[in-house]
């Protein structure tokens, strides 16, 4: 396997994007990524497009996106891994280069979720577990799934509603500094605690928005990367894991087994430990998910994730800065785009290009953690400057 580096990243504005169709939205991140890498369509040997679909009109989204972006005749595939579709696309692009199949490859994550009404969106996302048992018979929603995790964590470890709200306050703080974010305003702890319940104990400000958006990552072989950029960001490892469709088959709701396993793989492959990571992007579709990620990724002991954010250890200047782009909570969560956007943000952090959101980089290592569904898929990617 060859060494592979990220050489270009690009992002669209996240939010309600009634001004563009799917292909136009994807191109908003493809063009700056190509400019960043100093390449054009003819240089791209393989393209993977991460998207869930069903929200928009294109039945073959990868085909439409590649044609519009001028990427033909590069090899092309669509990847679906629920909310981790962008990370799945990145892994396929990475493998294309690592295997020697291509010198330069592109991963595009894109989703346009606001073209359908909210009740339909809630139903489609609520089907993300086991359809017949959990949705059809019980009527679970996606917020309901994570409410199970939140209430179990509160009961076992004493995690509080204030801890959940503190994650939202932090992520809105950094989202307000991010020009790509869906929400660009700070909130107070009291605002978060006064917002209405969606699924107890999760309130409105504990939930990410429904968003449109795209992000693109370009990777290259070591030989090509050294010609394209003076600041290659190396792919140290990608860990992957999965878990049962039916949540009733899992032993508890105190963490995500897929995260624990994917992280173990990623740390071992990269020969690093959680304490070596300078900055992280974690999957915070609900604020409890960020707290679980702290623990499952090894950033703190089990049951202490709430105290980690309470003590501001996940802020800039803390032990492990997390979601400095606003996370899914404030930046937004266009499902297919999220994984690529995480990798783009970690790349910018490691390059020292994050401006007011820049974390101190001591070890030259960053981590992106992307969950699909309620732990049905998980990808943990470690990037490094050396």
Say how many C-beta atoms besides its own lie within 10 A of residue 386's C-beta. Answer: 9
Of 375, 352, 337, 290, give the one whose Cα is nearest residue 109. Answer: 337
As a whole number of angstroms, the distance between CA 82 and CA 334 comes to 11
As a whole number of angstroms, the distance between CA 13 and CA 244 comes to 34
- Which strands, in side-by-side order, build the sheet including 75-79? 75-79, 46-50, 104-112, 212-221, 4-11, 233-242, 377-384, 365-372, 279-281
Characterize 262-295 residue by residue with b for buried, 16 or more Cβ atoms within 10 angstroms of its Cβ, and e for exposed: bbebbbeebebeeebbbbbbbbbbbbbbbbbbbb
Of 239, 342, 247, give the one whose Cα is nearest residue 285. Answer: 342
Of 289, 311, 303, 307, give the one whose Cα is nearest residue 155. Answer: 303
As a whole number of angstroms, the distance between CA 218 and CA 96 comes to 12
Catalytic residues: 83, 333
């Amino acid at each position: 396997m060859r060494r592979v580096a990220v050489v270009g990243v690009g992002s669209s504005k996240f939010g309600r994007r009634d001004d563009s169709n799917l292909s136009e939205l994807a191109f908003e991140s493809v063009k700056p990524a190509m400019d960043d890498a100093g390449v054009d369509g003819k240089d791209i040997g393989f393209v993977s497009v991460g998207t869930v679909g069903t929200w928009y009109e294109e039945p073959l989204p990868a085909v439409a996106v590649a044609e519009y972006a001028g990427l033909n005749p590069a090899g092309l595939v669509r990847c679906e891994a629920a909310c981790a579709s962008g990370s799945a696309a990145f892994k396929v692009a990475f493998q294309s280069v690592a295997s020697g199949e291509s010198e330069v490859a592109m991963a595009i994550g894109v989703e346009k979720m606001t073209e359908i009404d909210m009740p339909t969106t809630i139903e489609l996302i609520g089907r993300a577990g086991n359809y017949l048992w959990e949705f059809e018979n019980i009527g679970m929603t996606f917020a309901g799934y994570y409410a199970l995790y939140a209430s179990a964590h509160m009961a076992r470890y004493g995690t509080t509603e204030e801890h959940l709200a503190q994650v939202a306050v932090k992520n809105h703080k950094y989202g307000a500094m991010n020009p790509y974010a869906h929400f660009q305003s700070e909130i107070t702890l009291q605002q978060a605690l006064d917002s209405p319940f969606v699924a107890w104990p999760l309130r409105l400000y504990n939930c990410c928005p429904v968003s449109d958006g795209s992000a693109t990552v370009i990777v290259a072989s070591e030989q090509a990367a050294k010609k394209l950029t003076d600041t290659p960001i190396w792919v140290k490892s990608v860990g992957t894991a999965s878990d049962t469709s039916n949540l009733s088959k899992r032993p508890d709701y105190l963490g995500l087994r897929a995260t624990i396993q994917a992280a173990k793989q990623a740390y071992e492959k990269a020969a690093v430990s959680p304490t070596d990571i300078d900055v992280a992007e974690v999957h915070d579709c609900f604020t409890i998910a960020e707290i679980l990620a702290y623990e499952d990724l090894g950033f703190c002991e089990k049951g202490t994730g709430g105290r980690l954010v309470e003590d501001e250890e996940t802020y800039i200047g803390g032990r492990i800065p997390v979601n400095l782009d606003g996370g899914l909570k404030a930046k937004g969560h266009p499902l297919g785009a999220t994984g690529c956007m995480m990798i783009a943000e970690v790349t910018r952090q490691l390059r020292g290009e994050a401006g007011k959101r820049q974390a101190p980089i001591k070890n030259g290592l960053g981590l992106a953690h992307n969950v699909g569904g309620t732990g049905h898929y998980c990808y943990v990617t470690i990037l490094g400057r050396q």
